[in-house]
Structure 1
């Protein structure tokens, strides 16, 4: 009876982790898609100031989330860190709901946003720790957890535009704040306590795992930045390339993205269950090879049906990397789950900055076609760095 109770309790906790990840994903997907429109239409910011806002926000999030992750691995309770991040997210949403002053948004708003950016990495960290402690299939559970974000981004963006256009941005941001409040209730009610700093041995283990001395972590981070930069350049440029260069229908970009997104979720789930049989390293390398094949297709094909067909390689690439990438970092830094999870998310944040700069510069000089050649080179370099990463 005691075992049954513990098993039932652990299942409840794991389900709460999945639901909270979905809720936080929805809250993020409510705000991000319409941000540029909000800054342009509501704040009346010039295009340069809109771009500057994105850049400052990304840099601040990278720095602050990493500092918060280091602290969370050494002292305090990770559950309290998540509550703090959710509270900052509410502050961010309320600020955007009632303020239309650019300087307030680019200072106080970004401060709240950068502190809130650690929410998902910390959820992934506490989920990994609890799944390991209760003897669950860590990789499979992480895949299901990551799939919650993908599902949230299927639902969130259409809902975001609906709320913004029908009821205004104030209502939309207040809805996001309310969603984060629900997330806080879930954390308080169901998340396990995860204290740090109680044992000197734990702190010594954390301090001994120096990132700069761990070449595998460095190689994996570089590989992550390269592969996600290629993907971000594709997402930024593809709608313009399809319209201006290939002359395909206006619905084609949405169709291509929809096919990839629809395939990614089942691929994530399957990848999680394949890891015990194939291994993370082999599966990760296979994913990057699929990415290389995808960009070979992008530089080779211009027909709509072929572009639709090669989305299977794109989905395999993104689905597997997004599913097991964060686990790979965590396995390489087993005593620094917060830092490991944040390194993965910061790799994506770095790629957003790089992709915007590279795409804007290269397209203005060489045209859209060069983007996919550069992406192909980046994936090839990423594959090289992945080969240097040892099995965790």
Structure 2
């Protein structure tokens, strides 16, 4: 039986466009995410510390871009033009490293252009929020969770294909033409089908806020603190993607092929969890579920480097999928509700949350490598996740949830 959220997406042109765009960006992420660290270190010759620096710079770039574009789209309601720009930058981010084949080209593509282009993710969810705004809250949140599941769906298909390709002799550089094709398709889709600015069936008034006034809305302590906590939780998942290829590299029976299979299994199991999230939110508070998901995910994060050489490592895909499915889907509606009258900013906060996670991931990665190795980095990431989950639980026990009202 098809979930009601997917039927709702299929019946609405704007939601269908958002779904196709998020599937393509998911396929893009599935093709580049698990292999970015290997490309940096094994192909382009960067050190582990240099790769940590790339993660940190990319995070800074992404947060500045997400906030600037989120504010801009709310100010001017020019969402189509900004989406076209972001998709173009995402395409350029994989074309330039492949053509340049130098450390400089890698830095430009992965530290600057890719985080700029990745703001498209938040813009797609802003469009989803606007298109579903007239629906009841529970149905709207189910649509958002389903949209996040559609982002994970390509991992089930794309990663096994990469596994076969690597076993057949493909090199890591094949990642670039494939992601380039996916980026080009996404750009063409947006050019063809993204709703015209000012011509939507839903109201999209201009905010009229200056950059300073818009930033002030999210810098109030009770909002900023929640964004930080959610970002810290997300950092553990970013760390998993950074560690997976490196942990499996060089082990008998592992390497690039096993990396693809492992990530694909996790993503495949995440999809039904995400689709089931609305059933859980009917009984439990979102914050409670996020904390439980974070705790479950740490089992996988800590265990992966310790069990990488053992067949038992495949059992860790279960807590990874359960925890990841919850942590990846629930914060989207939570963050958008914090700034419910600003869809562009709500989409930007998804990126801001991720950037906070990227910064903490880079710190845990660098410190863990310096102290001992990959297992220590994973342990630091798990501790950060649990501390943030506990802090978020405590914050949401206080009266009010920190929602920003319309100005």
Q: What TM bracket, shorter-length normalisation?
A: 0.7 to 0.9
Gaps of 5+ in 2: 1-7
Q: In 1, distance between residues paired with 2:367 and 2:155? A: 29
State the superposition RMSD in angstroms.
4.2
Q: Please name the residue that 2:143 is paired with.
A: 141
Residue 212 of structure 1 pairs with residue 213 of structure 2? no
Q: Please name the residue that 1:176 is paired with.
A: 179
Check 1:61–1:366 CA distance in 2 against 1; reply closer, same or farther (3 A cut): same
User: Does the 8 A contact of 1:140 with 1:273 survive in 2?
Assistant: no
Q: Please name the residue that 2:103 is paired with.
A: 102
Q: In 1, distance between residues paired with 2:236 and 2:42? A: 30
Larger gyration radius, structure 1 or structure 2: 1
* TM-score, normalised relative to structure 2: 0.75
Deviations 1:204-255 (A, max 9, x none): 599477111251x2222221232223344455557877999xx997599877
Aligned length: 381
Q: In 1, distance between residues paired with 2:309 and 2:388? A: 28
Q: Please name the residue that 1:77 is paired with.
A: 78
Q: Please name the residue that 2:88 is paired with.
A: 87
Q: In 1, distance between residues paired with 2:309 and 2:90? A: 43
Check 1:248–1:139 CA distance in 2 against 1; reply closer, same or farther (3 A cut): farther
* Match 2:277 to one of 262, 271, 274: 271
User: Does the 8 A contact of 2:301 with 2:379 survive in 1?
Assistant: yes
Deviations 1:303-355 (A, max 9, x none): 97876656544332211121111110000111222323332333323323432
1:32-181 equivalences under 5 Å are 32-39=33-40, 43-45=44-46, 49-107=50-108, 110-133=111-134, 137-159=139-161, 162=165, 166=170, 169=173, 172-181=175-184
Q: In 2, distance between residues paired with 1:299 and 1:108? A: 29
Residue 185 of structure 1 pairs with residue 188 of structure 2? yes
Q: In 2, distance between residues paired with 1:176 and 1:249? A: 26
User: Does the 8 A contact of 1:280 with 1:324 survive in 2?
Assistant: yes
| 3-state DSSP of counterpart to 1:203 | coil
| 3-state DSSP of counterpart to 2:92 | helix
Please say which of residues 323-332 and 25-34 is displaced more in the overlay: 25-34
Q: In 2, distance between residues paired with 1:66 and 1:50? A: 24
Q: In 1, distance between residues paired with 2:74 and 2:114? A: 21
Q: In 2, distance between residues paired with 1:41 and 1:284? A: 35
Deviations 1:119-171 (A, max 9, x none): 111101111111113568211111111112212233334555738954883x6
User: Does the 8 A contact of 1:139 with 1:273 survive in 2?
Assistant: no
Please say which of residues 172-181 and 37-46 is displaced more in the overlay: 37-46
Q: In 2, distance between residues paired with 1:382 and 1:274? A: 21
1:188-337 equivalences under 5 Å are 188-193=191-196, 195=198, 202-203=207-208, 207=213, 210-213=217-220, 215=222, 217-234=223-240, 236=242, 250=254, 260-291=266-297, 311-337=317-343
Q: In 2, distance between residues paired with 1:287 and 1:203? A: 38
